Amino acid sequence: MRKESVRINGLDLDLYSLNTVIVGSGAAGLNAADRLYNYGQEDIAVITEGINMGTSRNTGSDKQTYYKLTLAGGEDDSVYEMAETLFAGGSMDGDIALVEAALSAKCFYHLVDIGVPFPHNKYGEYIGYKTDHDPRQRATSAGPLTSKYMTEKLEEQVRKKGIRIFDGYQVIGILTNTLDNGEKEAAGLITLNLNALENKEKRYVIFNCTNIIYATGGPAGIYERSVYPESQTGSTGIAFEAGVLGKNLTESQYGIASIKFRWNLSGTYQQVLPRYVSTAKDGSDEKEFLNEYFSDPGKMLDVIFLKGYQWPFDPRKVKNQGSSLIDLLVYNETVIKGRRVWLDFTKNPSYGSRNGELDFSLLGEESYRYLEKSGALFGTPIERLAHMNQPAIDLYKNNKIDLYNEYLEIAVCAQHNNGGLYGNHWWESNIKHFFPVGEVNGTHGVYRPGGSALNSGQVGSTRAAQYIAKRYTEEPPDKDAFLSSTEEQIKAKIELGETFASNIGSQGNVHEIRQNIGRRMDRAGAHIRSLKNAHKGAEEAKRDLESLRKETILSSAYELREAFQNYDLLITQYVYLSAIKDYIKNGGRSRGSYLVYDSQGELPIEGLDEEFRFSLCDGSLNDRIQKVSYKDGICEFQWTGVKEIPEEDSWFENVWNSYMRDEIIRE
């Protein structure tokens, strides 16, 4: 890595030149760095806005899941069969599915070898369990904090190798170079040095590099109701700005989560049958709002129980009083009626109880047997939770919430984006030398097995590293050549930053702008959608983006960080809402984890608002993928057929010969 100084806009800026920059210190980014080094490319660095920030480091769930090939027991499984499972989710490319299946064992064992505590039996078998959308038992877990352990162990590897980490550097622009044939390639990055925001000369740092591995995670900041950790914002917008295609952006996942401390309320939190309560904004007028929507108490209790297994909202599970009806009823209370919703573990639901005692005989076979086997047919929800899963109570206690004495406020929250930036089967985007990996890459389709996000992040970052280490080893250009293609782009970003910085007032508004972005997305682009709202939301986002430089007031230079994030989020939001609009215009209806208003459809249940009228997608768009490009405020869409799972020549001698002729790691 070379360090020089460049003079731009009258400022002397630091310029680093190196082969590859990895952006992001989540599980995907850290793995990319570790792998690249192992594959022989040592001229690399990690840039992160904060080493401990992001989803992987700060999230988890009841039993955070990692999906991989079956590695235990006598049950059949194969790479191809796992690829078929991933592909079956709909709108997923078969080549990506095959690679994710083929590398799943390699990536899993790498994590095992560096010390992530995945449990095995005394014969060394990694016993699996069944997760959602999984026909086998391919899932495993290192407990509620699987992804946190992954980042810790991967960071250990990165530090041991002496790989430089630029901690506290926020990427604000992706620099590109236009080739003679009109295609673009990545050229470098401009970052905001968060450790020196007050210093004009030090606040911008430039990177000149041959390759970028972009591991910035999901676009969490566009939502207000979110179970992404607070420290995750996402940076998809500046990638769109640089010309990277978006793919399957409509496919995000939503579900019930606590909001004071952000955590998925899946598994035992629901299986112990808590009370669902709503109140007025000030906490008065408490009522058990589910009661009036269920024909009998046993049905209501069964559905609460099922929410434990069936966590994400799924429009296929709405009708006939299915488990996803609960998400709609929570939304109805919070968004439509403007009330607040809580889970109360201290008392049994009154519908189905006598004198505070739950009548377990009302439960259906599945829920009754589960609680019986767990020895939990007794007491109150909190007593059952303490018996079945004490760490679930401790987790909240450690975050200053005492489930013995207080209600837990909840909402239907954004949790994961199946779609994202486009990448090919080496995870290289349409911009050459730019590799989106991890959640920012839209590898998944409509449905995906639980745990496949973590697998995809490890596989994608490994593939990108393999390709770069083999094919893209050249050093970056010298300073003058670099500046000849990027100087104007750098100047434009500095000019934007200095415009923000010139508008410092006693009362900044960056947080207010952020809140408006979040509220707009909750209204127009979360799990309840309509053409009208998507259109209105997209137009508003575009207007806000256009007026951002004029409207933004900072309370100090330290808020440059948020101002640039808002810029990124408004592009992201505009493109995502435009994608939703285009999907509905193309006949797209309810699927995945969202409901689309259909005036010809049915209401999920009598008495609910018209906006819940919906019909299910007939699957006709499941063999197609929506792609979008963004340029100068305009989104252009194309729909392509999914690639089938490749059926390659699997005769060993032939593959061996190709391998020896170096024909494998190629486009």
Contacting residues toward ligand FAD, per CB under 6 A: 23-29, 47-50, 53-56, 59, 61, 64-65, 147, 170-171, 215-217, 227-228, 232, 235, 264, 415-416, 438-439, 450-454, 457
Distance between CA 211 and CA 575 in Å, rounded? 25
As given in the structure block, the two tokens for residue 92 are 């997923």
Q: How far is the CB of 470 from ligand FAD (least distance, A)?
A: 23
Nearer of residues 70 and 380 to ligand FAD, judged by Cβ: 70
Q: How far is the CB of 207 from ligand FAD (least distance, A)?
A: 11
- DSSP run (H or E) holding 570: helix 560-585
The residue to which tokens 């189905």 are assigned: 352
The residue to which tokens 């920012």 are assigned: 440
The residue to which tokens 């390759």 are assigned: 211
As given in the structure block, the two tokens for residue 602 are 């049915």
Distant-in-sequence, close-in-space partners of 481: CB < 8 Å, separation ≥ 6: none
Nearer of residues 26 and 508 to ligand FAD, judged by Cβ: 26
Distant-in-sequence, close-in-space partners of 2: CB < 8 Å, separation ≥ 6: 16, 17, 18
Nearer of residues 213 and 329 to ligand FAD, judged by Cβ: 213
Q: 385: closest CA among 469, 268, 290?
A: 268
438 exposure class (CB count in 10 Å sphere: 0-12, 13-18, 19+):
buried
Categorise residue 401: left if φ over 0, alpha if ψ from -120 to 50, beta otherwise.
beta
State whether residue 223 is helix, strand or coil. Answer: coil
Q: How far is the CB of 546 from ligand FAD (least distance, A)?
A: 22
Nearer of residues 264 and 279 to ligand FAD, judged by Cβ: 264
Q: How far is the CB of 395 from ligand FAD (least distance, A)?
A: 12
Distance between CA 46 and CA 54 in Å, rounded? 14
Q: How far is the CB of 205 from ligand FAD (least distance, A)?
A: 12
Within 10 A of 488 (CB to CB), how many other CB atoms are there?
10
Q: How far is the CB of 359 from ligand FAD (least distance, A)?
A: 33
As given in the structure block, the two tokens for residue 431 are 């911009």
Q: How far is the CB of 165 from ligand FAD (least distance, A)?
A: 11
Start-to-end CA distance of the chain, whole Å, equals 28
Q: How far is the CB of 294 from ligand FAD (least distance, A)?
A: 28
DSSP code per residue over 583-646 = HHHTT--BBTTBEEEEEEEE-SSTTS-GGG-E-B--STTTTEEEEEEEETTEEEEEEEEPPPPP
Nearer of residues 89 and 450 to ligand FAD, judged by Cβ: 450
Nearer of residues 217 and 298 to ligand FAD, judged by Cβ: 217
Q: How far is the CB of 442 from ligand FAD (least distance, A)?
A: 12
Distance between CA 295 and CA 57 in Å, rounded? 43
As given in the structure block, the two tokens for residue 639 are 């729909």
Q: How far is the CB of 157 from ligand FAD (least distance, A)?
A: 15
Nearer of residues 173 and 352 to ligand FAD, judged by Cβ: 173
Q: How far is the CB of 200 from ligand FAD (least distance, A)?
A: 20
Q: How far is the CB of 347 from ligand FAD (least distance, A)?
A: 27
Nearer of residues 20 and 321 to ligand FAD, judged by Cβ: 20
Buried b (16+ CB within 10 A) or exposed e, 213-238: bbbbbbbbbbbbbbbbbebbbbbbbb
Distance between CA 294 and CA 303 in Å, rounded? 10
Nearer of residues 151 and 324 to ligand FAD, judged by Cβ: 151
Are 45 and 16 contacting, i.e. CB atoms less than 8 angstroms apart? yes
Q: How far is the CB of 92 from ligand FAD (least distance, A)?
A: 15
Nearer of residues 321 and 455 to ligand FAD, judged by Cβ: 455
E strands of 503-581, at which residues?
Answer: 528-529
DSSP code per residue over 136-176 = S--EEESSTTHHHHHHHHHHHHHHHTT-EEEETEEEEEEEE
Q: How far is the CB of 62 from ligand FAD (least distance, A)?
A: 9
Distance between CA 342 and CA 294 in Å, rounded? 18
Q: How far is the CB of 623 from ligand FAD (least distance, A)?
A: 25
The residue to which tokens 């998925």 are assigned: 264
Nearer of residues 452 and 552 to ligand FAD, judged by Cβ: 452
Beta-bridge partners for 256: 412
CA distances from 417 to 388, 408, 593 (A): 31, 25, 10
Nearer of residues 37 and 228 to ligand FAD, judged by Cβ: 228
Distance between CA 401 and CA 260 in Å, rounded? 9
Distant-in-sequence, close-in-space partners of 461: CB < 8 Å, separation ≥ 6: 28, 29, 31, 32, 35, 213, 215, 427, 437, 438
Dihedral (CA of 71, 463, 466, 15) sign: negative
- Phi, psi angles (nearest 5°) of residue 491: -60, -40
Q: 464: closest CA among 18, 9, 153, 23?
A: 23
Nearer of residues 31 and 578 to ligand FAD, judged by Cβ: 31
Q: How far is the CB of 582 from ligand FAD (least distance, A)?
A: 25
How crowded is the C-beta side of 489, counted as CA atoms within 13 Å? 24
